[in-house]
Structure 1
């Protein structure tokens, strides 16, 4: 709350309160950016500490500038060095210029990801125009909850303007420089620029991309959207302008000593050259693999003619409003029926359709005499231009989403569906497609897609992969020229889209086309054969049964697994029940969710893992201390030990499912036998209390080296063992599996990991227990033979892979797999194992084909 003289600044996080001096960063701690406090957060949402307006959301989403109703301006900066994440792990919930209320969520971030990749989670709360206000902390230590008073902000009487006046007209100096700060002009570099400028009497401004900002305003400097290596112009006015200019140019071109060098940016894909075109090949980037051939068809975007005017604003307002309602309803229907990836995209579109800035711009244009079609189109394209000029890949992707909305609303306004007279199996060429375009094209039965622009991580790319549609992006403008030429040639002229090798073959000869048609037919027939036998058991050549189950997270996943022939559920992750909500799920809610999965898999076993959430994945209703190294902290079964009421509630729900004989309970992050025995004893107690005589099977996850080393002791008390290769890899290799620079090396086919798997299987067999693998390694066809040879008898994979893995199992002989396993555990690297496994698989499949 506030009045003209005083305002209360409420805590935007729950957590420990720190003074500025205790912030682990010299720029913040020195007060160079301004006065304030800091919080070491316990939750993953930044809330508005007062009512006001969003001045600026940082380009990298790690910080937000707010202006309170009393005029004070604030920087809310999440973590230290978080600008280097370049937006990864952050999700802005508000936009520039948006009005916010006290307590409103401003941004959400992935605590796990951010904590692992920044220097500290300590978040600074800085008053930027401190010359006009005085701060009176309510508390400077201890802990605070969201919404509790943190500071009083008191407005000062204005100073005599004459005392601050400077003759800025005395002298002018200007110069240009490239900004060298990692991440561009985010909070800390902007503060250093301001600090430098304040050493001089001259007034200084930065000019960039048609906009300018005074060096007095950190907010203004950040709002310019200056990235690293962008060139800015510095203008100084005053008697010491020359000296000030040189100091500012140096400040902008010299990174701070504590800035980490930025990882080299991957080279842009090579544009197709004239020589390539003459050789009949265009090179691009694979967005979705696959092979296709067909006529090339150019798809152009919808364009409007000239607006002739003479419109009634009230009528056009009504037309646009009705069109927006219709499109919202259409998107909502998509949200109800589409798969997860599509739903996430359409949810983004729905939020954009409700953006007040976009709607206000369109309706203002109508009031000025434009037609609803042109007003909407201009408003969207203006927003796209604003996003794209910032040079941020994530924002550029949002611009493509906006173009999609432009198209959808225009089609509704014009009262006609877009006519797509596309030949069946055509290869569609476009500058850049929208998600809606792709879904319409998929319904038309096109063979593949190639785009002059676009990226391999865009929404269109995600949808193309989900549809199994070959797709290349970034082919360059030459693609459009060629597609235009093809429009005037015979429709029977085919091209080859080889997305596996990122190339478009413009004029393939008859032998090449024959080869492509044969390869595609072989692939199709292979998938068909695999699917026909997906519901049959997976028996090796020598009669050993391998269970091929599915990893799922919901009833819908389980239904998909059943359709794909899964032998059961090898891993039901229960975390989906607990996240993204303000209160814990009740016992009845949990029971309903677990029962629905069992019902979706009739007569088949379902393995349900107890909650694996802890210091690395915070829950809003379960405050836990932040941890410096969460993957080694309070997670898995350790959380159940720390919060037994949470585990008890889950166990009670699991004991109530029917039939209980098909329910198997799996315990994550077990490191010693006592943890297993404690849970088994607790299950017995809860069952007796409920009058339940039956007990579900109880298994443990082998995902830390200590569990593998104690596999024999664990198998003595567990009914089964399930290996989680994702975590076992990172703990065995001492490599964070989420570390971008190490991801390629965290390979579960490493010989050291295979030795732990072999040890686990041998120990389990000695106690008459079976071993499964539910980690990503089970989904890798190259690992199937090795795992069977090591003694694994259950593989839990993604539902679409069930048929493929079952088909591969049927080609194998366990004795040959054992020989392979004995060989690869003696090798020196994962690469060597993969090479040996690939050779083995090729030989086996070749022998089977010739038999």
Structure 2
């Protein structure tokens, strides 16, 4: 719709909540680099024309269209963020360049579910790319439907000619090869335009006998520059040299956003200015830190001169191997006591490698052929690494790093070297590739972050770094190893960047972000002992998951409302006989004593299947995750559960002890244990048995929640196992772990059904799985009916603060709508929009 003075009213091209650009999770759009405009979080799957005009550009990958309105306003309609990476998948363009369209015409369609799963965000942009000529006035910031008035476009007064008439100085030119994935699409083009506008000189980009002004976003995109195309840049004016260098650097910055692209080499025909150094890598563990770089030197072997006594070398190698095995067993025992499953599995694999007959035989054969034990072991490992790396499977190739970890550990013993890095606290440790053992030692020394020339985001080091909360970048390239020792750098793992020469302003910015994080944690801790009440007065219990009395004491200090899950396996592992009734009673009593007057939920032993006990031999199972585990063990060894129940029934006061049964899948299992518990109460002279709860961790239990709640006193959802059983994905599978997301709508439907079934018998429902510790999920769980969250102890304050920011009635309304979405990514996207994380 037009007004007589060339003003223009733009209608909404999509339906959905409206956001200002500042709230768009992309620095290029949010900064206004592309121009002024508005964003919409789409609820429909078709993009419509916001006004009448001509289609002047259609993105090659189908994710964006640019219109020129009749008053000259150029409008970029960009669907989603980072959608260029989809290379057209999920998009159907409905118009051609040069076509005339009317207000409301359909421009493109997209597969909402596919795009939401595959890109950073579905948030879509309407940008006025020539906003230097127009003013953008929002009409509404509420939710809109397609066709409703959205923006008022008003021409700006003309301020006279810019420096285009200046004929000062000669033209200067440079050239560069574009290696950015997707070519010169909207985001890098916006950076070029923003850079060009800093200078009075006029600059152009030239490609395939076509040219475009660097001031024009649509002109730049219209050149159709693809990956690996070589382009020329020209500048003419008083500051042409400076403009040219800045543009070449801007192009380099844009292309380097691709973490795997080779750095372009600008060819400049005048003076050359070096780009400020940034190395790009892959985020293995998120975080932002600054600190001095500390290069870790690799272990070097002395030359093997031969002439060895084979028997002595065999003995030396065997002794070293046994020493390392003993060290790893100690690491395993510690991981089990801390209930650190990921760390336990990684080092259990290392122990298995050290007993691998292929490795050992190869090493001993080399010794028989007159190799020293050091070289024999090194060659044996490297041969196996080469096999893994030539299989064409990146996940298997990353496992080679575990073998190299073992190579280093055994060699250090063989060489008699003290395995110790003298790394200053607060440093950023750099290496060609770190090993899990390296990481544990570096954590103890207080490093601020990790970066590696190689490595992968699914490696065991990456898993451990995430668990330790240590920012980590991998695949930075060999340039990392050339950086000077002690140089202060910024490790921006979230952005995949290692900033080699940050200025004082950037360092202060990073320090400020870190201070804000610490202040936020301090503020959360200050209020952690207060109840978690929603804005409309609903009380949510925030308890802690613990595995010992010491952890329980820490949880109480941290503000826990109780223990929502005590894992009793810590009593049963790493020993030759089961703990007797008295030992168990003392251990459970210690946890109750550590929690003051708070209640403690104690889960009965959950072993079997993949968690074996030395004194409980069980037959090997083809699929142990689906085998004898949890409460099913009572069918095989009922005396173990009886002994545990006796120990539990003798704690005091008994009314603060609640018993939780794992892996229940039918009502009869619950009734059997309940009858046994009642019989033991009679036998011990106990008048009132403790509350008995059921873990909801298999889909059958969720679907039978109403029937289980009739006989149980409460239900507790274990989202970790429930996720893998529902999605048929092993949560420990390196290639699938990222997809085992408990915010999948199928999981949410099971949680909703569990809460609904429990409510019919006035039973409360809690969550003790990892989802309870995810602040993004807190409003969803509250909305679906969860009234207790049992979280990792360090997160008690954070989750309580999150609860206090929410309106429970709104959570209920919005959470119900999430059940109709098609993927976990779509749910997470909606959660970010409905309940942004501060």
Q: 2:263 is matched with which residue: 243, 256, 273? A: 273
In the TM superposition, 1:332-731 aligns within 5 A as: 378=375, 381-391=378-388, 393=397, 394-407=399-412, 410=415, 420=422, 425-434=426-435, 437-438=438-439, 441-442=442-443, 445-458=446-459, 460-481=461-482, 483=483, 486=484, 494-509=488-503, 511-555=505-549, 557-575=551-569, 577=571, 584-613=578-607, 636-641=630-635, 644-705=638-699, 707-729=701-723
Distance 1:479 1:519, change over 3 A: same
Deviation at 1:280, TM superposition (A): 3.0
Q: Helix, strand or coil for the counterpart of 2:776?
A: helix
Q: Is the 8 A contact 1:424 1:444 kept in 2?
A: yes
CA distance in 2, matches of 1:333, 1:625: 27
Superposed CA offset, 1:803-843 (max 9, x none): 3222211222222222222332344443333222111222x
Contact 2:404–2:435 at 8 Å: present in 1 too? no
**Which whole-Å CA distance do the structure 2 matches of 1:308 and 1:634 have between them?**
55
Counterpart of 2:149 in structure 1 is none
Deviations 1:183-230 (A, max 9, x none): xxxxxxxxxxxxxxxxxxxxxxxxxxxxxxxxxxxxxxxxxxxxxxxx
Shift of 1:442: 4.4
TM, length-normalised to structure 1: 0.55
Match of 2:297 in 1: 300
Q: Distance in 1 between matches of 2:537 and 2:305?
A: 78
Residues 363 and 379 of structure 2 are in contact (CA less than 8 Å); yes or no, is this contact kept in structure 1?
Answer: no
Q: Which residue of 1 aligns with 2:793?
A: 799
Q: Which structure 2 segments of 5+ residues have no match?
A: 1-257, 267-273, 390-396
| Aligned 8 A contact 2:545 2:790 in 1 | yes
Residue 500 of structure 1 aligns to a residue in which SS? coil
Q: Do 1:349 and 1:402's aligned partners in 2 also have CA atoms closer than 8 Å?
A: no
For 1:286 and 1:529, how far apart are their aligned partners in 2?
29
Selected match of 2:765 from 761, 771, 782: 771
CA distance in 2, matches of 1:841, 1:727: 26
Aligned mates of 1:557, 1:825 — CA distance in 2:
36
Partner of 1:816: 810
Task: Note the C-alpha offset of 1:794.
Answer: 0.4
CA contact (8 A) 1:327 1:409 kept: no
Alpha-carbon offset, residue 787 of structure 1? 1.0
Secondary structure at 1:699 match in 2:
strand
Select 1:284's aligned residue among 263, 276, 281: 281
- Measured after TM superposition, the shift of residue 773 of structure 1 is 1.2
Residues 550 and 570 in structure 1, CA contact (< 8 A), matched pair in contact too: yes
SS of residue paired to 1:792 = coil
Tell whether the 8 Å contact from 2:452 to 2:474 is kept in structure 1 after alignment: yes
> Which string of whole-angstrom CA distances, capped at 9 and with x for unpartnered residues, describes residues 368-427 of structure 1?
9x9xxxx675455444434434336435422223214434665x55xx89784x666443
Give the C-alpha shift of residue 332 in structure 1.
8.9
* CA gap 1:348/1:764 in 2 versus in 1, 3 angstroms: closer
The 3 A distance-change label for structure 1 pair 746 and 599 is same
Give, in whole Å, the separation in 2 of the partners of 1:561 and 1:689: 34
Distance in 1 (CA, whole Å) between partners of 2:322 and 2:707 is 63
For the 8 Å contact 1:615–1:625, the answer to whether it is kept is no
Match of 1:100 in 2: none
Show structure 1 runs of 5+ residues with no match.
Answer: 1-267, 847-851
- In structure 2, the CA distance between the partners of 1:710 and 1:533, relative to structure 1 (3 Å rule), is same
- 1-structure distance, mates of 2:692, 2:280: 53
Q: Distance in 2 between matches of 1:695 and 1:480?
A: 64
CA distance in 2, matches of 1:632, 1:269: 40
Cα deviation for residue 698 of structure 1 reads 0.9
How big is the shift at 1:772? Answer: 0.6
1:793: Cα distance to partner? 0.9
Q: How far has the Cα of 1:602 moved from its partner?
A: 3.5
Q: Deviations over 1:12-66 (max 9, x none)?
A: xxxxxxxxxxxxxxxxxxxxxxxxxxxxxxxxxxxxxxxxxxxxxxxxxxxxxxx
- 1:54-88 deviations in Å (ceiling 9; x for gaps): xxxxxxxxxxxxxxxxxxxxxxxxxxxxxxxxxxx
Contact persistence 1:271–1:476 (CA under 8 A)? no
1:52 corresponds to: none
Alignment of 1:153-192 (within 5 A): none
Inter-partner Cα distance in structure 2 for 1:702 and 1:347: 28
1:337 CA drift (Å): 7.2
Q: For 2:746 and 2:460, how far apart are their aligned partners in 1?
A: 38
CA contact 1:561–1:799 (8 Å) conserved in 2: yes
Q: What is the alpha-carbon distance in structure 1 between the residues aligned to residue 627 and residue 808 of structure 2?
A: 39
Q: 1:779 touches 1:801 (CA, 8 Å); kept in 2? A: yes
Q: 1:269 to 1:678 in 2, by over 3 A?
A: same
TM-score scaled by length of structure 2: 0.56
Deviation at 1:624, TM superposition (A): 6.6
Q: Aligned to 1:390, what secondary structure does the other structure show?
A: helix
SS in 2 for 1:717: coil
SS at match of 2:429: strand
Deviation of 1:498 (Å): 1.3
- Asked whether the 8 Å contact 1:349–1:405 carries over to 2, the reply is no
Contact kept? 1:540, 1:811, Cα under 8 Å: yes
Q: Shift in Å at residue 777 of structure 1?
A: 2.3
Alpha-carbon spacing, 1:300–1:534, altered in 2? closer, same or farther (3 Å): same
Greater alpha carbon shift after TM alignment, 625-634 vs 472-481: 625-634
CA spacing shift, 1:438–1:322, aligned 2, 3 Å:
same
Which of 751, 758, 766 is matched with 1:757 structurally? 751
